[in-house]
Structure formats: C-alpha cells, structure tokens
Amino acid sequence: MKTEHPYQNEIQTHINNMKMIVQCGPLTREGLEKIKLEVHALASHKDWWSEEQYAAPAQDENQARYLITEEADQTYALYLNVIRPGKKIIPHNHTTWACIAAVEGTEHNYLYERLDDGFRSGFAELRKKEIVIVGPDQVIGLMPDDIHAVQIQGDQPIRHLHMYGKALETLNRRTGYDIEHGTCSVMPIGVQSRR
C-alpha cells in the first residue's frame, strides 16, 4: 500500500491548480506553460524528494520511478524519477500532456518532428529539431503528440518530477521510434513504478 506523502496537502494544491488550467478548455501550449510553473514549484522543495524518502536505484538498476500521487481515475499522475547516468530513452510520444522539472541534476531532452504523414504502418521519419536541458531553472512541457528522447549524462543520479495528464500505467498506445531503421511501434511502459 502506498504511503501518503507528508506534504500531500501542498502537493494537492498544485495539482488542483493544474486541474483548473486544463478544465478551462482544450489544453494549449499556453496552458501547458502554466502547468510547467506548478510542476517547477513542486520541484523547488528539494527536501520533499530526498534520498531518505526515495532511494536511488540499486547499483544494477538504471532507474527508480516512484508514484507520488494520482487521482482515483488515474489522471493527474505525479512521479519522482531517480535515474543513474547513462540511461537513454528512445524517441517517443506520451499520448497525454507531460511536464518534467528537475529537483537535482540535468536531463538532456531531444525534441523531434515527424516528417512523414504517419499513414504507413510501422514507418516513421524523424528529424531532431531542438535540445532542452532540463535542470533547476528549465522545465519542459510536452503535448500528447510531441516526440522526445532522453539521455542522462554526468556522474550523479538525477531526481526529476514527471507530471502526466494520465498515469503512465494507462499509456498503452505510446509510440516509440527507431530513427536508424525508420520504424515505429507501440512502446512498453518501462520500469514498474514504486508506491
């Protein structure tokens, strides 16, 4: 059973603010910018996300993902990712909006645009368009169809908050892309979230 975070009320206040933004109508990039501010505010409380509460992955693991909170219908899901250097995640979309903010460390995000029309099953052509280094002063917001890849560099594990419109465990239609072979397929969920 998941233990409630000691600052659950404060966390919920920020999530309620995100709900108000989303409930104003279809989410736009302008609305996503406002959500980014809320996630950044959560990440700024470094003592909330400490090693004592959320241990780094074991030496033989690359990543520990902790589910912090989600709504009963598995929307507005907040995770803490603790990731070791060297971890790479292939280009993918989320099929829901997402925001990532750093508690500690930096994460290189490579943003892509899709060049093909998407009508040929299993085929995709991407072009890298931007690199966003998510660190203490840089938050990234992604719309459902945005495509990004992730790489953790440096020599220390990072701690980053990931906020999703829907829980990762429900995102069974995300697309992962193989740039070298020009292919795409449904992407697995990845590591299991700890509660």
Please write the tens of the pLDDT for every residue from 150-185: 999 988 999 999 999 999 999 999 999 999 999 999
**Residue 3 DSSP symbol:** P
Please write the tens of the pLDDT for every residue from 106-140: 999 999 999 999 999 999 999 999 999 999 889 99
User: Is residue 185 within 8 Å of residue 176, measured between CB atoms?
Assistant: yes
| Residue 113 CB contacts under 8 Å (≥ 6 apart), including other chains | 126, 127, 129, 147
